[in-house]
Structures are given as structure tokens and as C-alpha cells.
Chain A
């Protein structure tokens, strides 16, 4: 089993709130990713990181931001949540042989 964890699993908040989705992995992987996925739709890469102090934007424009202060931790923050941010957010890390390991996801609902 992959050792990558996301919290919270489910979050319902009001518009304008600041939220942080946590992602941690204990595998020592340098590369980490955040994907966004709406129900029944494709995964879209929104952020990735090559390692500590590295963050890059993905293909899908996102109003979220990320940080990578420690190898094992890659949190995603929304400064002011809106209903359009309602989605599932999936965190992943990549092994040296190229496999991606995903967390169970954080399902965000903004009212």
C-alpha cells in the first residue's frame, strides 16, 4: 500500500473562506502533484513539485497555491473559496521508477 495521505477527505465550507488541503507522503519521493477532478471527468494537473522549494503550475489554470517546504509535505491552499472550486483534489507522488501513488482525495464543496 502507498503511504500517501490526504486530509480532510471531505470538506464543506462557505464562500470566501480560506482552506488548506493537506498531503503527506512517507516514501521520500521528490516529485509530487496535485490533480483536480470533477465527477466522471478527466484528471487535470494543477500543480507539481520537483522537490523542496520547487513548485510549478500544471495544465489547468487554478486559483490555488502550493508550497513545498519539506519533502514529505505538499499542501494546497485556496485563499478565498468559491463555488467554482467545488471538486475533488487528488495528491500524488512519483517513485524513482516512474509510478505515481495517489492519496484518497479531498472532496471540497463550497456553498
Chain B
């Protein structure tokens, strides 16, 4: 699975959009970008995933660059409850290593 790079921390004001970047320059053609978040010590929660087209669901939007070497998770109107560690992972949905590495992620703090 391709390696990802994320900033260790970010701050965002409540009600504003939170834009979390992820670099995955070694991504291969069949690998998707997945985003998860972990609130405090709960189990990580799946947010969204995509291959090359932008994706949107009720939680967030995912913007993937045309060369697929980076992506941005967008929380359009961040709330205090969005404070969490956000993980970006790249892998093939069917294959890829089972030794899935979450890394350190980005700790997002939403401030009132």
C-alpha cells in the first residue's frame, strides 16, 4: 500500500470549513484513498473513500487531484464534535497488504 503524509495537527474555527490535506505521491492505479477519524479513544470511524472522482456524503467531501498524488478531506461546517484524529490511507479495496498502517494522522481541533 502506498505511503501517505499528513500534517500532525490543524485548527479550525467552529462553523468554518476544515480542509485536511494528504499526500500520496506513490499511489498506484488501482488504489483508493480512504479517510477515517478517531474521536478520543473510540474505534476509528470510516468517513469516505474515492478513486479519482470527487466524492461527497453526509459527513464530508473528498477532493482528489487529477494526478491522484494528493487529496483533501473537507468538513464543510466543522463542529466541536469534529475534533478528532483524521487518518488518510491508500489501498486497493480488494487486495493490498492486510497489514494496514494508520500512521499518526492529523489531529484536528475545532475551536469555539
Number of residues from B at the complex interface, CB < 8 A = 21
Q: Chain A contact residues (Cβ within 8 angstroms of B): what range?
A: 20 to 34
| Chain A 78-111 near chain B by CB (<8 Å), digits 1 or 0 | 0000000000101110001111111111010000
* Complex interface: chain B residues within 8 A of A59 (CB): 99, 101
Given contacts A97-B93, A98-B92, 18 further A-B contacts (CB under 8 A): A2-B46, A33-B98, A42-B103, A42-B104, A43-B44, A43-B102, A45-B99, A50-B98, A58-B99, A88-B41, A90-B44, A97-B49, A98-B34, A98-B49, A98-B91, A101-B46, A102-B43, A105-B43
* Complex interface: chain A residues within 8 A of B44 (CB): 43, 90, 92, 100, 102
Q: Which of A39, A56, A92, A97 meets B43, CB within 8 Å?
A: A92
* Complex interface: chain B residues within 8 A of A101 (CB): 46
* Complex interface: chain B residues within 8 A of A58 (CB): 99
In the assembled complex, the CB of B28 is this many whole angstroms from the nearest CB of chain A, namely 14
- How many A-B residue pairs have C-beta atoms within 8 angstroms? Tell me: 58
Asked whether A48 is an interface residue with its Cβ less than 8 Å from the other chain, the reply is: yes
In the assembled complex, the CB of A17 is this many whole angstroms from the nearest CB of chain B, namely 23
Cα distance, A104 to B41, chains bound together (Å): 9
A90 with B43: CB separation less than 8 A: yes
* Complex interface: chain A residues within 8 A of B102 (CB): 42-43
- Chain A residue with minimal CB distance to B44? A102
- Chain A residue with minimal CB distance to B105? A42
In the assembled complex, the CB of A43 is this many whole angstroms from the nearest CB of chain B, namely 5
Closest 5 CB pairs of A and B: A102-B43, A98-B93, A43-B102, A99-B46, A48-B98
B36 with A100: CB separation less than 8 A: yes
Cα distance, A43 to B41, chains bound together (Å): 11
* Interfacial residues of chain B within 18-72, with CB under 8 A of chain A in the complex: 32, 34, 36, 41-46, 49
* Interfacial residues of chain B within 93-110, with CB under 8 A of chain A in the complex: 93-94, 98-104
A-B contact pairs, 26 of them (CB 8 A): A2-B46, A33-B98, A37-B41, A43-B102, A45-B100, A45-B101, A48-B98, A50-B98, A59-B99, A88-B41, A90-B43, A92-B43, A92-B44, A98-B32, A98-B34, A98-B49, A98-B93, A98-B94, A99-B46, A100-B34, A100-B44, A100-B100, A102-B45, A104-B42, A104-B43, A105-B42
